[in-house]
Amino acid sequence: MSGSVVENKPIKIGVVGAGHMGQYHINLLSKILPENHIFIYDQDSERSKLMAETYQAVSCPVLEECLSAVDAVIIAVPTYLHYEYAMKAMKAGCHVLVEKPISNDLKCAQEMMAYAEENNLILHIGHIERFNGAVQAMRDIVDKPYYFQAQRIGSVSRIQDVGVVLDLMIHDIDIILSFVDSPVREVVAYGESIITDFEDYALATLYFENGTVATLTASRVSSHKARTMFVSQEKIYIQLDYSTNDLVVYKNQYTEYTVSQSQITYKEENIVDRVVVHKDNPLKLELEYFIDEISGNLGASKYKNILWDSHSNLYTMEIAFRILKEIERSGKRS
């Protein structure tokens, strides 16, 4: 297929990998696209046939059949296969949405991005939190932040071919970088291998050239699940819960002091705003964005707070690998 913008006709999309994440994509695409406009390839041909029958899609016995039939491809295979399948798809002229992380190798990520740009192809990375309604609402509030605290913890992940930096922390790296208009000056990080051969717990601090600081925690060794971010800026403290799409803003109004013979006490008065957030399925919105992107229809107002460009995607990867390098340098324990 041609890599040009697809106009005035229904898009045909291939899904490569019909496992856990691939099925999510197929299910949502079946609600967006007409019947038989989804083409599925999986190394397990029986799995591919089952998904096709369930979602009124087309099962492809070989990858090349899928690539020749579609305008774009979603890559939902293990991370170490992202480069191989994404490059095959782009060389066949297909636009690509690849699940995060784009690759487990920074040079491969850079090569993929360069190939897409040189051949006028869209290479979209599955940073799904950019499509979280609370994150989009926060873009109307955050202005000159000076501190971020992000926490993303839970139990053992189904993804174990990369560590928590590329599996979990990368979401918060991506969001924080999109809010701070400044390069990262220094990275301090530490991690431990507990369950897998990769870091299962990681703590990182990012120091930006403009003075902003961000601390990030990621873990897959906890029975408690949390997906939160806190942002501090002048007179405002913002609390974001990714899991519930809740956004709370604390506005410091004034501090009142009381002086007695024994002590000085004070009380701090705050106004608490619970921001109304449009709660839609982030993956569904991301798929709609990808389809509109390859159709040349990104003028829709629903995308006004979604910031997207290849440089920011690559910078997210570069910072993630700086964190991994620092973990290795500081002596990851196992």
The pLDDT tens digits for 117-128 are 999 999 999 999
CA distances from residue 325 to 80, 107, 231, 318, 321 in whole angstroms, order as listed: 19, 14, 26, 10, 6
Is pLDDT of 4 > 90?
Answer: no
- The CATH classification number of 130-280+312-330 equals 3.30.360.10
Annotation: CATH topology of 13-126 = Rossmann fold (3.40.50)
Mean pLDDT for the chain overall: 88
Across 16-42, average pLDDT: 96
CB 151: neighbour CB atoms within 10 A? 16
pLDDT at 2: 47
Q: Alpha helices of 152-244 — where are they, by DSSP H?
A: 164, 170-179
Is pLDDT of 160 > 50?
Answer: yes
Contacts of 331 (CB under 8 A, 6+ apart): none
Confidence of residue 332 (pLDDT cuts 50, 70, 90): low
Tell me the whole-structure pTM to 2 decimals. Answer: 0.88
For residues 126 and 114, give the distance between their C-alpha atoms in angstroms, rounded to a whole number.
18
Across 15-44, average pLDDT: 96
Q: Is the backbone peptide bond immediately before 101 cis, with ω within 30 degrees of 0?
A: yes
Equal fold, 13-126 vs 130-280+312-330: no
Across 49-61, average pLDDT: 97
pLDDT at 278: 74
* Contact in structure between 71 and 95 (CB atoms under 8 Å): yes
What are the structural domain ranges in the chain? 13-126, 130-280+312-330
Is pLDDT of 268 > 80?
Answer: no
- Between 89-93, 98-102, 225-229, 251-255, the lowest mean confidence (pLDDT) is in 251-255
